[in-house]
Amino acid sequence: MSLRTKYSDRTFNGPKTSRPKCGARTISGRPCQAQALKPSGRCFRHGGLSTGPRTPEGKARQRQAAKETMRRIWQERRRGERPMPNISDEKRAEMAARARQRQSALQAARDEHLRELRWKKWRADMQEKRREESLARKEAARIRHAERMRRYREKQKKQRANSNA
């Protein structure tokens, strides 16, 4: 959403009371009432003057800080130390039920994936076993054939020796 559409009904010109407010959530949980700056729509305390990190290191540092902050907040919420703001008990119960549903769906998908992997491994093992058995049968047939040919040649040799004598 661009600032033009965000503040289309408000103006940055005119008396200070008519200018848009920052609206960022403060530590107390209420929206900030300071005057917003034009480029970002936030006050100078909440990043209105910031242009953000420019270097890859700065961007990585900001990304890591955001991850750590969200991880800490959600751990506190799971432990019950930080309740979710402005949510009724019914809504919280509904959200928990949806989360349990998602977890059970994920678990079902994981189970199905594991079954599929086990099936593929079993099928590959069976194919390998059949291949080995086939090779063993062919080798045994080759040995039997060689033995028959050896006996046949010996018999032929004896017959020639008997006919020459």
In angstroms, the CA 19 to CA 9 distance is 10
Separation of alpha carbons 85 and 72, rounded Å = 16
Whether the model clears a pTM of 0.75, i.e. scores above it, the answer is: no
**In the chain, at which residue ranges do the beta strands (DSSP E only) sit?**
none
Q: Closest Cα to residue 49, out of 38, 34, 61?
A: 38
CA–CA gap between residue 50 and residue 41 (Å, rounded): 11
| pLDDT, tens digit only, all 165 positions of the chain | 444 444 444 455 666 667 788 888 888 888 888 888 776 778 878 877 777 788 999 889 989 988 888 888 888 777 777 666 677 778 878 888 998 999 999 999 999 999 999 999 999 999 999 999 999 999 999 999 999 999 999 999 999 888 876
